[in-house]
Chain A
Amino acid sequence: MLTIESINTYYGNIRALKNISIDIAQGEIVALIGANGAGKTTTLKSISGITPPRTGRIRFMGKEIQNAAPEKIVAMGLCHVPEGRHIFPQLSVMENLEMGAFLRRDKAEIKKDLDYIMSLFPILAQRRKQAGGTLSGGEQQMLAISRALMGRPKLLLLDEPSLGLAPLIIRQIFEIIEQINRSGTTIFLIEQNANLALKSSHRGYVMENGEITLTDTADKLLSNEDVKKAYLGI
């Protein structure tokens, strides 16, 4: 579904990604784990066109997207939930959700999706008229994921969905992620909480200093001695 072939992304003269190659198949949950500053967020931003790679190729559903504008990439069904959630603070919960469907013109279907999301997250239905900035962290994360779902993604990119949330909420968020995946959406997920991420995923990649150092099935990564020592704290 998504094939990344040795991309290199720069911030000015600093090379943030070094020959990154990643493969994601339809229906998978794939986790990308690594320390702070390893280049995980940059990898996602390179895919969604915010910081396009200088060299290398990214193919999504058979089409090359490394030079496409972000709105073209979203239109193809690739939605990105950024780190820190990025809720539009002064738009209402409802308007935030509508922004997720910004590129869609099928009003009746949008309405149906809104109803579905409101039934999935009753708390969002309760707060539909409230400004997005006034929600709690967990509610904002639910809103951020819901907003991405309003774009009917085929592939969902999630950047640190557990960041700053209480353990109970984190569990809830990951249950939702697995549920979204079961209903047919492929998921590519970044986490610092490697243990949690690998337990929900099929496969994983480990990233260090802008390079992919290891890739395997999630189970094998969980029992890998190096991964255990470096990321699982065991």
Chain B
Amino acid sequence: MEQFLEYFLSGLTRGSIYALIALGYTMVYGIIGLINFAHGEIYMIGAFTALIVATALTFLGFPPLAILLLAALAAVIWASAYGFTIEKVAYKPLRGAQRLSPLISAIGMSIFLQNYVMLAQTSDFLRFPALIPDFKWLAPWSHIMSTSRFTILVTAAAAMIFLTLLIKYTRTGKAMRATSQDREMALLVGVNVDRVISSTFIIGSALAAIGGLLIASHVGQINYYVGFIAGLKAFTAAVLGGIGSIPGAVLGGLILGWTESFATGYVSSEYEDVFAFGLLVLILILRPSGILGKNTAQKV
């Protein structure tokens, strides 16, 4: 039972990070119908930014909590700036082109950013400081609930609740939903669609940066390639849950996290990916549009 709980919580942690990144994929897909393959790189850039800022602040002697918050803030802002710019440079000029063109542009952007970071930083693994300070009151449960695991769960949950409220109740959120459902009509009621697309990229990138910071601090090392792997997993999560669906991305992330965690625990860590992608194949055969994929009932 103890073991089961451990695997369950480890899967939940992993899954909520996948979900944070998957949200970016699914939101962008919902609005412009593009799989943003450079999204994983945004996550990686978020982690690198946090590392650079944290190192500098540690050097300057800041207290740990301030370092954590400032590093997170810097990562979010910098990654959002990247997301915003990528859309303007690589996707916007291709709007109205064939579907394949922006997809190729996205893959190109992903390769470019990986190599850019590799050349500008290093191709080695870098040690990432444990930014999250230990909570004393968590000590009795520390065998199953470490501080960093707890922080990841709480932060991810808070980010998802924030996103849900934003989409449900704010003007920007309504404009996003309207644009994803009917772009031309959104234009006709006066939505500035360009601005909605930019907002989507910024919000998605901010979530990915938070994910990058949390997981890097949890695992303790990063390199230029972490975004590719995490991006692939999160993309799988988004497809699993039904691409374009926001609750689907969260559900897909969690299911993927649990699958991997239980496969590692009860079978072998070598079979982790076999189970993860096997599940994807299975879902795509049984429900091609994903678990919560759009099957809109619409009268005409």
Contacts and interface: CB of A to CB of B under 8 A. Distances in A.
Interface string A120-136: 00000000000001111
Given A70-B188, A102-B189, A102-B191, A88 B181 contact: yes
A96 to B, nearest CB: 9
B184 A50 contact: yes
Contact of A102 (B175, B182, B298): B175
B187 interface: yes
Contact of B190 (A90, A91, A140, A151): A151
A91 B177 contact: yes
Nearest to A139: B299
B182 A103 contact: no
A233 interface: no
A69 interface: yes
Interface residues of B, number: 21
B300 interface: yes
B125 to A, nearest CB: 44
A37 interface: no
A99 B299 contact: no
Contacts of B175: 102
A71 B187 contact: yes
Contacts of B298: 89, 133-134
Given A86-B188, A137-B300, 9 more contacts: A70-B190, A71-B191, A71-B192, A79-B189, A87-B185, A88-B178, A89-B296, A95-B174, A99-B189
A79 B185 CA distance: 11
A77 to B, nearest CB: 11
B59 to A, nearest CB: 48
B185 A90 contact: no
Contacts of B171: 102
A102 B174 CA distance: 9
B119 interface: no
CB-based closest 3 A-B pairs: A74-B190, A86-B185, A133-B298
Interface in A133-159: 133-137, 140, 147, 151
A82 interface: yes
A99 B191 CA distance: 9
Contacts of B189: 74, 79, 99-100, 102-103, 147, 151
A211 interface: no
Interface of B: 171, 174-175, 177-178, 181-182, 184-192, 296-300
B208 to A, nearest CB: 25
Contact of A133 (B186, B187, B297): B297
A87 B184 CA distance: 11
Contacts of B191: 71, 99, 102
A44 B192 CA distance: 19
Contact of A75 (B185, B187, B190, B299): B190
A137 to B, nearest CB: 7
B299 A133 contact: yes
A131 B174 CA distance: 14
Contacts of A95: 174
Contacts of B184: 50, 82, 86
Contact of B181 (A71, A89, A140): A89
Nearest to B192: A71
A48 interface: yes
B190 A164 contact: no
Given A74-B188, A98-B174, A88 B297 contact: no
B181 A70 contact: no
A151 B191 CA distance: 12
Contacts of A70: 187-188, 190
Interface in A43-100: 48-50, 69-71, 74-75, 79-80, 82, 86-91, 95, 98-100
A90 B187 contact: no
Contacts of B178: 88, 91, 99, 102
B40 to A, nearest CB: 28
A137 B299 contact: yes
A86 B181 CA distance: 9
B185 A71 contact: no
A80 B192 CA distance: 16
A132 to B, nearest CB: 9
| Highest count of chain B CB atoms <10 Å: which of A87, A88, A137 | A88
10 contacts: A74-B188, A82-B188, A87-B182, A89-B182, A89-B298, A99-B186, A102-B175, A102-B178, A102-B189, A134-B298
Given A86-B185, A88-B185, A95-B174, A133 B296 contact: yes
